[in-house]
Structure 1
Amino acid sequence: MRNTMFFRKTALNVLLAGAAAIGAGASAMAQTHGGTLNVILNPEPPILMLGLNQQTPTQIVGGKIYESLLTYDFKLNPQASLAKSWTVSPDGLTYTFELQEGVTWHDGKPFGADDVLFSLKEYLPEVHARARNNLSHVASIEKTGPLTVVITLKEPYSPFINAFEVSSAPIVPAHIYKGTDFRNNPANQTPIGTGPFKFKEWQRGRFVLLERNDKYWRPNLPYLDKIYFQVIPDANSRLVALESGSVQVASFGDIDFAFLPQIKANPQLEVTTQGYEFTGSHAAIELNHRTKPLDDARFRQAIQYAIDRKFIAERIFFGAARPATGPVSSVTRFYDDKLPRYDYDPKKAIALLDEMGLKPDANGKRASIKLLGLPYGDTWNKVSEYVKNSLSKVGVAVVLESTDAGSWARRYSNWEFDSVVEYLYQYSDPALGVDRTYRSDNIHKGGYGTNTSGYVNKDVDAALVAAAKEVDPLKRQQLYSQAYGQVAKDAPTAWLVELAFPTITNKKVKNVTTSAIGVAESFATTYIEK
C-alpha cells in the first residue's frame, strides 16, 4: 500500500509541476525583449552536439539548442519542457508523457512522438553512456498518438523521472539522424534542435553565435536576440572581460577562484551558487586499474591518505568547494556520512607503500605515475600541481600531462591515462550519476562518463542493481551504504572535493539561473534590463 500511495502522489505532483512551469512562462511576458548576451565559454568545446558530448562547455551551449522532455526546479522536482504533462502508474512501471503542441525543429520540420521514440530507442542508447544505462531499465517505448509517448519499465526504477534533463536525454530530430552514422553525420557541425536559440555561426578559437528562434513553441520567448559564447583562453583576460562588461556571464571555473572576494566586492556583479543542485559536481582523480601499481588497492588507498582535501577546498577553490568524504556527494540522495573515509595522513600512506614493498630509492622515489590534468583553466592546473607535490612527499613521483578539451575527452574515454583529474555530475541520485563510475557492466571503451578505471567488484554490482530497482527509500539507503561502503574500502578513485561553483552575472542581466541545471538551462526567459 505504501508504494502505491507513493506513485499516486508522484503522478499528482508531476502534473501540478507541469502546469506550474507553463504558468510561470506565461507570467513572464512583461519582460524586456531584444539585446545580445555575451557569455564566457571555457574551454572551447570539441562539438556542440549534446548527444555525442556532455562536457560542461557543450552543455552550456547545447542547452539552448536542444531540449528534453523535462527540466527540474531547485528542489529537483520535474518541470515541463517538451512534455507538457506526465503521469506515473501506481506500480511505478508506466510513464505517460503528453508532448507540447506546435513544436517545430529549427529547420521548420514538425516535432512529435516519432522524434522522442527515435531518440530514446535508437540514438541515445548507441552514443550516450549515461542515457544507455537509464534506458536499460525500459521494456518498451511506444506512441499512442502523434503527441503521446508511453514508456514501460521492466521493473520499478526509482530515479527514472529524473532522467530527462537536457544533457541526460536530449531529443534529436529523427528526420536528420535516422538511418545515418550518428557520430559522423554532417548535421553534428550545425546542430538543429527545438530550443529557444538556433545555431548561427562558430568561429573556432573566437566565439559561437546563437540567434533567436522566432518560431519557438513558448509564446513571446525567448527575450534575447543573440547569444555570443566568447572563447577566452587566458584567465586574466576572462576576469578583465567580466569586470569591464564586455561579457556578462561567467560560470563554473571561468574565473580563478582566488578572485572571488574581488568579484563579490564589485557593485556591478552578482554571484550565486544556485543552479548546480542537479549536477552535484564531484571532483576526483580517476585511477586506471589496468596500470601497475594502480591495480593494488593499497596503492590507491595511499594516494587517498596523501591528499589534504581541506587544503584544496580552502586554498585552491577559496571556499567554493567542500572536502569530498567518499564516492557520493553530500548533496546527492542517499549520502551516508558514516562510510569509511580517508583523512589526510601521510604516515598511513607511507605505511601502505612499505607494506607493498615499494621502498624509496636514493632520491626517495618509490613509484611513478602520470597524471592527465583537466584542461579547464588555472584552478585545475593548481589542483594537478598540488597533487604532484603531495604525492612526492610520500615517495610517489607524478609526471603531469596536459592537453586540450577534445583530446582530454578522447584519452579519458579510451583509458589512455594512468590517472586523470575529472569532475563528474551526480545528477541528484546515485543510480543516475554515481553508479556509472563503479558498475562493471558500464566498462565501455570510448564511452564518456563510464567506468573508465576498470573497477570490478561483483558484490558492489549486485547491491547497486538492487538499489536502483528498490522503491522503498529506507531499503535503498541500506543498499547504497553497503555498496559504497565497499567502494570506499576499495578506493577505486581518489576523491577530492564537492564543487559549489559560482555563477557570476552583470546585474543588468536577469533570469540567468532559473533551475537546478543553471547555465545549462535554455535561457528562454533570460533578459537584459534596459
Structure 2
Amino acid sequence: MNKMRNLKLMVVLLLATSLILTACGGKESAKSEQSSRDDKYGGTLITADLLSDPGSFNPITSSEHSEIVGIVLESLTDRNAETLEIEPELAKSWEVSEDGLKWTFHLRENVKWHDGEPFSADDVIFTYQVVYDENIPNSSKDGMIIGGEKIEVLKVDDYTVKLILPQPYAPLLSQLNGFVILPKHKLYQTWQAGKFNQSWGIDTKVSEIVGTGPYKFVDYKTGERLVFERNPYYWKKDQEGNQLPYIDRIVRQIAGSRETQVLKFEKGETHLVGIKNSDYNRMKAMEEQKNFTLYDAGPTWFKSLISFNQNPNNPNVKEQPWKYEWFTNIHFRRAAAYAVDRETIINQVYAGFGQPDFNAVSAPNKRFLNPDIRKYPYSLDQARAELKKGGFSWNDQGQLIDRDGRVVEFTFVTNAGNELSEANLNIIANGWKELGMVVHAIPIDFSKLVRQLTSEYTWDAFFLYLTGSPEPNSGSNVWKSSGNLHMWNPKQQEPATQWEARIDELFLKGATTSDYEERKKYYDQWQEIVADQVPVIYTAVADSIYGVRNTLKNVRPNALGGVLWNLEELYLEK
C-alpha cells in the first residue's frame, strides 16, 4: 500500500518517464521489427535438383514436367501440400451454380506479368484457346475435356471468367491446379501464326518467358544451371503484409546424377537434397558437422506396382495362349500378391524407411484412402493355397505347372538403370521362384519398356513406379477400361469384365458428384474392387527423406511438395 501511495505522489515524474520510455521502446520495437523483416530478404538459394537439361520450357507441349511451373507460371488454383486442400491462386474466389455446371472465377486485380503487363481474363481465355487447339498436342487438354466435350469459357469482365461445363465435374478445382495460365501478350501472335508448338523452346531468350509466379527466369546455361530472380511485382504477401518472396535468387544446377546431387550437398554447395533411404544413417552421422538436418517427410506419393499382361491383343497370345490363361486367373494373381515379401523390400531397398502397400490410393492421401480392403501379407502357404484353387500344381522337380502340365515360365521386366526398380525386381522374382515359377527377371531400356506397354503389348509382367495424386480422378486414364494407361488391358472398346465396368461407373459417379462423402463412398468401392481382383499388385512405399541446410529457414518438408512447396515463404539466415 505504501508503494501505491508513493507512486501516486510521483505521478507526474513517472508519467513523464513512462512517456520517454514508451517512445524509446516504440522506436526500438519498430527498429527491431524492421531489422527482423529485412533479415528475411536477400540471398541465393542453390539446388542441384535437375538431373538433365529440360527438353522445352513450353508447359503445354512438353511431355515432361516443365521446370518453370510453380516458379514462373501459376494457375487459377493451388493445392496446399500440407492440408491437401485446394486454395485460391490467380483466382481469388469462385462460386458454382446449384446444378454444378456454371463456375464463376473472380481473378486477382493486382497481378502483373514479369514484364509489368497486367494479368487479366484475356490471358485465361487465351490459354483455353491454345489448349483446345487441335493442332497443338498437349496433355493439359485431358483434364479439360469432360464427358468428351470442351468447357465453354466466357469473359464476364476484365477480372471475371465463367466456365460452363457439359456436365457436373467435381475434380474441376483439382484439375485447374497445375493448369498454368499463359501470357496472351507474349504468345498470341505466335499462336495465330501457327508456331505455338515451336515457342518457348530451350533456345528461347529467357526474358521472353514471363509468368506471374514468385520468380522470373533470367538465365539458362546448357548442362549447367537455370537461374531465377525475385519477381518485384509478385502479388502474394506474408501475414504481416510484407511482399513475398524473401529470397532474391534461385539457382537450379543440373547435376546429371543422384550421386552428384548428394556429393554437392555434402560439400556444402547446395541448400537441399532428396536422399536415398539407404544413405540415411551415413548422412545422419554428419548432420552437426555439415550443418544440415535430415527430414523424414513420411510415405511418398509414388506407387510401386506389378502387373501381368491380360491383353488379348498381345501378339504373343496366338503362340502362347497359356500365359494369357495364367494371367487372367484371379487365383494366380492373388498368389503372386501373397508371395511379395514387402518387409524384405522395406529393409533391403528402403533401409527400413517404408511401409507395406496394398492400396490403389497413395498412403499419404488420408482423405480418400480406404483402410478396410483385402490385403496380401507375405505368406507362401496362402499363395500355394490360391494356386491350388486356380488349378495349378507342382511336378516332381517342384516346378509350378498348370492344368496341362506346362511349367509356369515368364519374363518379368523393369526399367534398367533405376537401382530401386532393379532391387525390387529381384526380391519379387525370388518370392515367385519359391512357388516353383520360372521367372526371368530382366531390366530393359526404359524407352523399350514404354513401347511394350503402350503399343507393342508384348510384355509378360512388369514392375514400375507411378506417381499418385490427392485427386483420385487424376488416375482415370489408368483405371477406366478405355484408358491408354489401363496397362493390363488398355484402350478397351467395351469393358472386358464386370468388375472393370463397375470401376468405369464408379469413376463417372466420382467425377460428377460434388459431395465429398458421396465421392469417398464411390472411391472406397473402387479400392475394394482393385484389392479383390488384383489387376495390379502393390508392394511397399518408401519414406521421402530430405537433407536441408540449417541456414534455410521456414522449411516444412512433406512428401507431396518436397522442401520447396512453400518456396516464396522460405528465407536464408544471414
What TM-score do you get using the length of structure 2 for normalisation?
A: 0.72
Q: Structure 1's 90 and 500: CA in aligned 2 closer, same or farther, altered over 3 A? A: farther
Measure the CA separation in 2 of the matches of 1:323 and 1:52.
Answer: 37
1:162 is the counterpart of 2:174: yes
Structure number with larger C-alpha Rg: 2
Residue 71 of structure 1 and its aligned partner are, at CA, apart by: 1.7
Q: Structure 1's 517 and 124: CA in aligned 2 closer, same or farther, altered over 3 A? A: farther
Residue 240 of structure 1 and its aligned partner are, at CA, apart by: 2.7
* SS of equivalent residue, structure 2 residue 539: strand
Residue identity opposite 2:264 in structure 1: A
Measure the CA separation in 2 of the matches of 1:325 and 1:506.
Answer: 35
State the match for 1:247 in structure 2: 270
- Specify every segment of 5 or more residues in structure 1 that has no aligned partner in the other structure, as ranges: 1-27, 444-449
Written as runs of structure 1 = structure 2, the 5 A alignment for 1:360-379 is 366-373=408-415, 378-379=419-420
Residue identity opposite 2:548 in structure 1: T
Written as runs of structure 1 = structure 2, the 5 A alignment for 1:111-130 is 111-120=119-128, 122-123=130-131, 127=137, 129=139
Residue identity opposite 1:426 in structure 2: G
* Per-residue Cα deviation, 1:487-522 (whole angstroms, up to 9, x for no partner): 223322221234431232111112454886344637
* SS of equivalent residue, structure 2 residue 95: strand
State the match for 2:477 in structure 1: 436
* SS of equivalent residue, structure 1 residue 307: coil
Q: Structure 1's 518 and 345: CA in aligned 2 closer, same or farther, altered over 3 A? A: same
1:96 is the counterpart of 2:108: no
Residue 235 of structure 1 and its aligned partner are, at CA, apart by: 4.1
Measure the CA separation in 2 of the matches of 1:420 and 1:179.
Answer: 44
Written as runs of structure 1 = structure 2, the 5 A alignment for 1:230-241 is 230-241=253-264
State the match for 1:193 in structure 2: 211
1:310 is the counterpart of 2:310: no
1:454 is the counterpart of 2:489: yes
1:209 is the counterpart of 2:220: no
Residues 103 and 111 in structure 1, CA contact (< 8 A), matched pair in contact too: yes
Residue 64 of structure 1 and its aligned partner are, at CA, apart by: 1.3
Measure the CA separation in 2 of the matches of 1:109 and 1:410.
Answer: 44
Written as runs of structure 1 = structure 2, the 5 A alignment for 1:390-469 is 390-394=431-435, 395-403=437-445, 418=459, 419-431=461-473, 433-443=474-484, 450-454=485-489, 456=495, 457-469=500-512
Residue 222 of structure 1 and its aligned partner are, at CA, apart by: 3.2
1:87 is the counterpart of 2:120: no
Residue 144 of structure 1 and its aligned partner are, at CA, apart by: 0.6
Aligned length: 485
State the match for 1:261 in structure 2: 281
Residue 83 of structure 1 and its aligned partner are, at CA, apart by: 1.6
Measure the CA separation in 2 of the matches of 1:362 and 1:171.
Answer: 63
Residue 429 of structure 1 and its aligned partner are, at CA, apart by: 3.0
Q: Structure 1's 143 and 509: CA in aligned 2 closer, same or farther, altered over 3 A? A: same
Measure the CA separation in 2 of the matches of 1:513 and 1:416.
Answer: 43
Measure the CA separation in 2 of the matches of 1:289 and 1:178.
Answer: 43
Residue 65 of structure 1 and its aligned partner are, at CA, apart by: 2.3
Q: Structure 1's 101 and 163: CA in aligned 2 closer, same or farther, altered over 3 A? A: same
Measure the CA separation in 1 of the matches of 2:449 and 2:506.
Answer: 32
Residues 60 and 519 in structure 1, CA contact (< 8 A), matched pair in contact too: no
2:181 is aligned, of 171, 191, 194, to 171
Q: Structure 1's 496 and 237: CA in aligned 2 closer, same or farther, altered over 3 A? A: same
Q: Structure 1's 65 and 421: CA in aligned 2 closer, same or farther, altered over 3 A? A: farther
Residue identity opposite 1:307 in structure 2: V
- Structure with more contact order per residue of length (Cα contacts < 8 Å, sep ≥ 6): 1
Residue 396 of structure 1 and its aligned partner are, at CA, apart by: 4.2
Residues 460 and 483 in structure 1, CA contact (< 8 A), matched pair in contact too: yes
Residue 66 of structure 1 and its aligned partner are, at CA, apart by: 2.0
1:41 is aligned, of 43, 49, 53, to 49
Q: Structure 1's 64 and 329: CA in aligned 2 closer, same or farther, altered over 3 A? A: same
Residue identity opposite 2:431 in structure 1: S
Residues 76 and 177 in structure 2, CA contact (< 8 A), matched pair in contact too: yes
Measure the CA separation in 2 of the matches of 1:397 and 1:95.
Answer: 53
1:492 is the counterpart of 2:538: no
Residue 241 of structure 1 and its aligned partner are, at CA, apart by: 2.0
- Specify every segment of 5 or more residues in structure 2 that has no aligned partner in the other structure, as ranges: 1-35, 238-242, 318-322, 400-406
Q: Structure 1's 416 and 149: CA in aligned 2 closer, same or farther, altered over 3 A? A: farther
Q: Structure 1's 114 and 482: CA in aligned 2 closer, same or farther, altered over 3 A? A: same
2:86 is aligned, of 54, 78, 100, to 78
Measure the CA separation in 2 of the matches of 1:361 and 1:139.
Answer: 63
1:343 is aligned, of 366, 371, 377, to 377
Q: Structure 1's 383 and 202: CA in aligned 2 closer, same or farther, altered over 3 A? A: farther
1:65 is aligned, of 52, 65, 72, to 72
* SS of equivalent residue, structure 2 residue 544: coil
Percent identity, aligned pairs only, is 24
Q: Once structures 1 and 2 are overlaid, which stretch shifts more, 460-469 or 293-302?
A: 293-302
* SS of equivalent residue, structure 2 residue 246: coil
Residue identity opposite 1:78 in structure 2: I
Measure the CA separation in 1 of the matches of 2:420 and 2:139.
Answer: 28
Residue identity opposite 1:477 in structure 2: K
Residue identity opposite 2:511 in structure 1: A
* Per-residue Cα deviation, 1:355-406 (whole angstroms, up to 9, x for no partner): 466977979573222412276x5434422333343334332423433446x8
Residues 60 and 140 in structure 2, CA contact (< 8 A), matched pair in contact too: no
* SS of equivalent residue, structure 1 residue 170: coil
Measure the CA separation in 2 of the matches of 1:490 and 1:123.
Answer: 37
Measure the CA separation in 2 of the matches of 1:130 and 1:311.
Answer: 39
What TM-score do you get using the length of structure 1 for normalisation?
A: 0.77
Residue 79 of structure 1 and its aligned partner are, at CA, apart by: 2.5
Measure the CA separation in 2 of the matches of 1:500 and 1:102.
Answer: 40
State the match for 1:7 in structure 2: none
State the match for 1:152 in structure 2: 164
Residue identity opposite 1:111 in structure 2: F
State the match for 1:527 in structure 2: 571
Residue identity opposite 2:547 in structure 1: I
Residues 411 and 440 in structure 2, CA contact (< 8 A), matched pair in contact too: yes
* SS of equivalent residue, structure 1 residue 158: coil
Residues 373 and 528 in structure 2, CA contact (< 8 A), matched pair in contact too: yes
1:32 is the counterpart of 2:40: yes
Measure the CA separation in 1 of the matches of 2:384 and 2:83.
Answer: 43
Measure the CA separation in 2 of the matches of 1:124 and 1:411.
Answer: 30
Measure the CA separation in 1 of the matches of 2:307 and 2:145.
Answer: 25
Residues 154 and 161 in structure 2, CA contact (< 8 A), matched pair in contact too: yes
State the match for 1:223 in structure 2: 246
* SS of equivalent residue, structure 2 residue 532: helix
1:321 is aligned, of 346, 351, 354, to 354
CA-based RMSD of the aligned residues comes to: 3.8
